[in-house]
Every structure is written in structure tokens, then in C-alpha cells.
Amino acid sequence: MKVEIYYMTGTGNTKRAAKLVQLQLKSMGHDCEVLNWIHEDFESWDAADAFGFAAPVHSFREPTPFRNNLKSLPKSPNDRHIPVFILSSCEGAVGNFYYRVAKILKKKGATIIGVKTFYAPSNVLMWEKSIERSIDHDPSHDKAILYFAKQLPELIEKNEPLPIKRHFWSGLFAALTKDWGLRAMIRGKIKVDETLCIQCGLCAQNCIAQCIHLDPYPKINMKECVACLGCINLCPKDALNAKNTIGKRRFKGLGKISVSPL
């Protein structure tokens, strides 16, 4: 069985979830490819037996670049019901993330066979009150993804639709704020300290909105920015800052995967 997972990630949490699924499926003798949907295009629905789509949760919804990519997917050939699962990463409530993503995928001919949330520390510094905030990761969250992946081959074979509930209030909040709303207002303009910047390009490479380029220092199109704060967190010299982020402990990712497949 072949599975392809397309992901977007700010600081690596969603990528980790996809890699954990890959780890488990490969240990079971299946082929699983993990693709960065920022830099790699979707091939076709015929390229695999099942597909996964993964992204972080932004204000109870999917990131706008992720939604745009979903909308650009072709319809499945001959209205074939393609087995698809959805992964998200967040620290708290997912809101209408799954409902909104599933709605788009169903129009493409997908059968949503499963959804799973990877709980990990938030990278959204502007929400954090504490300067020395906790970014400890519970290994049980890694194992929860492995357990989900272990069930995937059976779910793919059955190819039965999973009912996904719509949440009214979180959906309303998501509709009002969007990616450029409340988050952007609290974030403010991202500024670059050129005395610290080493022009490594890590911010531009990992930007899910692809709104950063080096000239020779990072130039950010704030109209396209979705306020994920990935660039601020990942900068090795802490050369990027925005309102309510100065002096706060950055989230550099969860490190190497140390759990073994089930």
C-alpha cells in the first residue's frame, strides 16, 4: 500500500506528525512519502492508494495557504472515492479545522476516513504571557500519532466516511478573524534586526505563505503574512521580532523523534 502525505508547517510540529505516520506505516511494510506542500506540487490522485493532508491550526481554522492548495487540487478521476485522512497540530482546540478542510476535500472526490490532532507546544509567541514559557513536549503525543497510523491500513481498506461535526462558535470566530485579522493585529509588523541577521534564509525557506525573500536581509510582505510566527521562532539569531514577541523564549522545534513504532 502506498500513502502520500502533503504537509505545511511553521516550526515543524505538523511535519513531525507526518513523519510519525510515515515511521509507523513503513514499519508495517507500507510505502509512505512525506511531501512539503510549500515547495512540492501535488502530483495526481493516481500516485497513491491513499493521501494525508496536514497543517497547523490557525485561530480554529486552516491556514490560508493550505486552504488555497486544497482548492487547487484536481477532482478525482471518474469521481473515484479516494481514501484521505487529515492531520492537524495545535496546542488546544482545533475548532472547525477538520470540518472546513473536509468540506473542500469531499468536493474533490475524497472520502475522509480519519482525522488526528497532534498536540504540541504553540509557536505563537504573541499569545504567550510568560517570557520563560514552557515548551516541554509529552512523548505520549508522539505515541498517539503512531497508534492512529497503525489503524490507517484498515481504515484505508474499508474506505468508510467519518462524520465530522461543525462547531458554530469557534467557526464564527474563525470566520471573523481569519489569518490576517486578530492574530495580525496583535502581532504587529515583523521587524528585522540587521545587526543580528546572518542572511541564512531559514525564514524565507520555511515561510508557509512564501512572503519572505532576502534582499540581502529578509523582506516581508505583511499583506501576505498569515501570522504563524514561524520565522520569528526559527531564526537562529533571534533577529526577527514583532509586537508582544520581544524577549520571549523562542520555539525551535521538538528535536529528533525518539519513539519506536508500535
Residues 160 and 230 in one domain: no
Query: pLDDT (tens digit, 9 = 90+) per residue, 154-180?
Result: 999 999 999 998 877 766 666 666 655
Task: Provide the whole-model pTM.
Answer: 0.93
Residues 59 and 136 in one domain: yes
**CATH code of the domain covering residue 81:** 3.40.50.360
Residues 70 and 135 in one domain: yes
Average pLDDT over all residues of the chain: 90
Residues 139 and 194 in one domain: no
Query: pLDDT (tens digit, 9 = 90+) per residue, 66-112?
Result: 999 999 999 998 778 999 999 999 988 888 999 999 999 999 999 99
Helices 13-27 and 139-158: angle between axes, nearest 10 degrees: 60
**CATH code of the domain covering residue 201:** 3.30.70.20
Last residue of one domain, picked from the residues 121, 144, 170? 170
The whole-number pLDDT of residue 117 equals 97
